[in-house]
Amino acid sequence: YTSLIIVTGIVLFFVNLAIAEEDRPELLTRTFDRNYIVKYLGLYNYTIYDGVQTAQTESQRAYASSDDLTSVENYTSSHYAKPNAEYFGKAKGKNIIKIHLESFQSFLINYKLDGKEVTPFLNKLARGGEDMTYFDNFFHQTGQGKTSDAELMMDNSLFGLPEGSAFVTKGENTYQSLPAILDQSEGYTSAVLHGDYKSFWNRDQIYKHIGYDKFFDASTYDMSDDNLVNMGLKDKPFFKESIPKLQSLKQPFYAHLLTLTNHYPFTLDEKDATIEKAKTGDATVDDYFQTARYLDEALEQFFKD
């Protein structure tokens, strides 16, 4: 019976893993939230998985060579580019608000669907409205880390990993990051504001190592049903509730706001849709234009408020 029990356990594990992969693809490779792994695979299996991940990380550190660092330093020094004199230092001492537009693609700028602009406010900004400068030489370079890879690049000038998320597998590293540099050199306070819970992408841990002072996650927002859609808090209430949080920060500050509504699979309540869906025949693509318009409207209201 012992062999039967072992075989049955193995079969059940792989059946459970298959179900988990159906609901959360690449669950074990992307490792976006340890809570999900416990939920789908159980605490015992998670303990084994976490042990393997820890051993791999420790072995990488043990075998790390100073020669690797030397080659990186040589590359960066030989590719050094001087700051653009026209822009360098122009915003010195001012508050910085970085808004991360989830899943937003540049083709939407000035794009019209059935004769209507999908993102009229962002189009206005791209044309120089509100005294804005638009840099369009910007490309998608994320891997399995998705949004977390984008955060890693923006704050640390580092690419994501070939497999998995650096936010999770390298969450205990020390980073030479933008929030830390601004604090050390200019005395900036830093904060992240996001309508999802802090454990996703291991943010509650890695933000400390990146140097953020505060993290306002979903637990600090009104997460009532009317305010939720898809992955979490809708962008309009998110921006509205973020304003007093920004006002509470000691100035000068660096704030990173992450939107959420324009996230796959791009679902939106009918009452919040102000543009018709596209008619490509692909539900995901058709819905994308509605959530992009909602994001655009939320951003415009934030600027007004």
Catalytic, 147? Answer yes
Integer Cα distance of 224 and 236 in angstroms? 14
Tokens found for residue 118: 């999908």
Catalytic residue selected from 29, 31, 47, 147: 147
Closest CA to 211 of 175, 254, 159: 175
* Residues pairing with 256 in the sheet: 98, 192
DSSP label of 278: P
CB 109 within 8 A of CB 126: yes
Q: What's the one-letter identity of residue 142?
A: T
Q: Dump the DSSP string for 7-65.
A: HHHHHHHHHHHHHHHHHSTTHHHH---HHHHHHHH-HHHHHHHHHHHHHHHHHHHHT--
User: By CB neighbour count within 10 A (0-12 exposed, 13-18 middle, 19+ buried), where does 98 fall?
Assistant: middle
Which residues in 237-254 are b (16+ Cβ under 10 Å) and which e?
bbbbbbeebbeebeebbb
Hey, which residues are catalytic here? 147
